[in-house]
């Protein structure tokens, strides 16, 4: 039996996209940088024979030369494991690439762009061919795999590549038909940051996703894939969660809350204290907010600095204005005339059934009331 660990999209050196207090920026940057150290620990625990890294290992523009030196030293601690790297669009093999700045140990193969490379060897009684291709530019429109066929179907054939599972893309388009006709058992891909495994015409196709979440879009579990092979076409891939922290997105409805303290408590009711202090939280504030509560969102974020490792508050609420007095016929104030005008418009649009127009009018009404009453726009997003 052969064990393979498959990762991609580490993005070491990438500027962070989370709301973080200053000292936590360093912590988080290091957690991203050290993901491969935890992965190598896992390789040792599992006694994996192969480590596949499908590109975007580091950021060409931001990674530190000493980090890449440390990475080469790290791989020299697993001399029995074959390490394959296929550079991607964030770490292309440009002449000044950090890939050329260090001496890689003998167990490391970095695929270049000269064509689809192949490395043949035997591990645990299974004959293996690893094919790979590295990027040498930031953009790659050509479907480079279009005429690819494995050389020998009786071997375990693996293809390692950074690319986009799509008919057209500027990130090396990989068409399903190219996978189907390739003859490979396993496609080790990188580029998509969400973990995903598919079977395409008998080929196991995997995006492991980024091992650590890199921005608030990376919601949910992140980790690596552990692949076990018992023969040339017997391949099974299992996701193994590994990220130190998770991105969590939740909604909090502010409707009916009467005081600032109630709003604070509603925000603090998400997750357990342990999960709040460990993870990156995106909390969308929805519903209708009592206009008497003046929410200072940047202030709240600082107030909760010890409660959440990272907190983003997304305002999607509207202020809960009492419209009835404004709709009274005798009320001829500016606000009342404005609201009546827009309500009339809304009624007409509702009859024509254009929901999008109705939504725009409703937002316009709340924007206008915010402007007239608060002197600034507090309503931010769509109503429904």
Footprint on this chain of Mn ion (rule: CB under 5 A) = 9, 56
Which residue lies nearer to Mn ion by CB, 193 or 276? 193
Which residue lies nearer to Mn ion by CB, 9 or 279? 9
Which of these, 144, 139, 216, lies nearest to 182 by C-alpha position? 144
Min separation Cβ 237 and Mn ion, Å:
19
Min separation Cβ 193 and Mn ion, Å:
6
Number of helices (H) and strands (E) in the chain: give both, helices first. Answer: 10, 17
Which residue lies nearer to Mn ion by CB, 87 or 368? 87
SS3 state of residue 223: strand
CA distance linking residue 278 with residue 272, whole number of Å: 10
In this structure, the number of other CB atoms found within 10 A of the CB of residue 143 comes to 20
Which residue lies nearer to Mn ion by CB, 137 or 327? 137
Which residue lies nearer to Mn ion by CB, 173 or 368? 173
CA distance linking residue 219 with residue 214, whole number of Å: 10
Which residue lies nearer to Mn ion by CB, 213 or 368? 213
Min separation Cβ 158 and Mn ion, Å:
20
By DSSP bridging, strand 318-319 and strand 288-289 are parallel
Min separation Cβ 126 and Mn ion, Å:
30
Which residue lies nearer to Mn ion by CB, 59 or 275? 59
Which of these, 46, 107, 28, 17, lies nearest to 71 by C-alpha position? 107
H/E stretch holding 280: strand 280-286
Which residue lies nearer to Mn ion by CB, 211 or 368? 211
SS3 state of residue 317: coil
Q: Which residues contact 150 (CB under 8 A, 6 or more apart)?
A: 129, 131, 157, 182, 183, 184
Min separation Cβ 55 and Mn ion, Å:
7
Q: Which regions of 105-202 does DSSP assign to beta strands (E)? A: 108-110, 117-123, 126-132, 156-162, 186-190, 196-200
Nearest-CB residue to Mn ion? 56
**DSSP letter assigned to residue 256:** T
Tell me the CB-side half-sphere exposure of residue 360, using CA atoms within 13 A: 6
Min separation Cβ 384 and Mn ion, Å:
34
User: Are the beta carbons of 164 and 143 closer than 8 angstroms?
Assistant: no
Which of these, 151, 90, 141, lies nearest to 116 by C-alpha position? 151
Rounded (10°) angle between helices 65-75 and 35-46: 0
Which residue lies nearer to Mn ion by CB, 247 or 283? 247
Min separation Cβ 339 and Mn ion, Å:
49
CA distance linking residue 284 with residue 299, whole number of Å: 16
């Amino acid at each position: 039996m052969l064990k393979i660990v498959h990762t991609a999209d580490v993005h070491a050196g990438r500027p962070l996209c989370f709301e973080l207090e200053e000292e936590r920026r360093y912590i988080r940057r290091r957690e991203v940088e050290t993901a491969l150290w935890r992965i190598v620990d896992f390789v040792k625990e599992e006694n994996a024979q192969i480590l596949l890294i499908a590109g975007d290992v580091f950021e060409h523009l931001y990674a530190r030369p000493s980090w890449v030196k440390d990475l080469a030293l790290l791989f020299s601690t697993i001399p029995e494991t074959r390490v394959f790297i296929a550079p991607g669009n964030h770490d292309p093999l440009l002449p000044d690439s950090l890939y050329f700045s260090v001496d890689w140990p003998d167990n490391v193969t970095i695929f270049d762009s000269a064509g689809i490379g192949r490395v043949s060897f035997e591990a645990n009684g299974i004959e293996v061919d690893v094919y790979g291709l590295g990027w040498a530019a930031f953009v790659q429109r050509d479907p480079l795999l279009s005429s690819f066929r494995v050389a020998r179907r009786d071997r375990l054939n693996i293809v390692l590549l950074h690319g986009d599972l799509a008919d057209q893309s500027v990130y090396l388009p990989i068409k399903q038909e190219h996978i189907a006709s390739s003859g490979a058992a396993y496609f080790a891909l990188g580029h998509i940051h969400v973990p995903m495994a598919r079977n395409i015409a008998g080929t196991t196709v995997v995006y492991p996703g980024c091992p650590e979440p890199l921005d608030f879009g990376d919601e949910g579990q992140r980790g690596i894939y552990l692949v076990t092979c018992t023969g040339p076409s017997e391949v099974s891939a299992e996701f193994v969660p590994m990220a130190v922290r998770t991105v969590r997105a939740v909604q909090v409805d502010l409707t009916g809350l009467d005081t600032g303290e109630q709003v604070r408590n509603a925000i603090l009711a998400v997750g357990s204290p342990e999960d709040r202090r460990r993870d990156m939280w995106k909390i969308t504030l929805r519903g209708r907010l009592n206009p008497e509560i003046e929410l200072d969102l940047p202030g709240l974020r600082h107030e909760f600095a010890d409660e959440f490792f990272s907190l983003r508050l997304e305002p999607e609420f509207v202020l809960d204005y009492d419209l009835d007095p404004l709709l009274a016929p005798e009320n001829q104030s500016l606000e009342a005339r404005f609201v009546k005008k827009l309500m009339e418009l809304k009624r007409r649009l509702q009859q024509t059934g254009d929901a999008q127009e109705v939504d725009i009018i409703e937002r316009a009404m709340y924007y206008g009331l915010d402007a007239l009453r608060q002197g600034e726009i507090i309503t931010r997003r769509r109503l429904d």
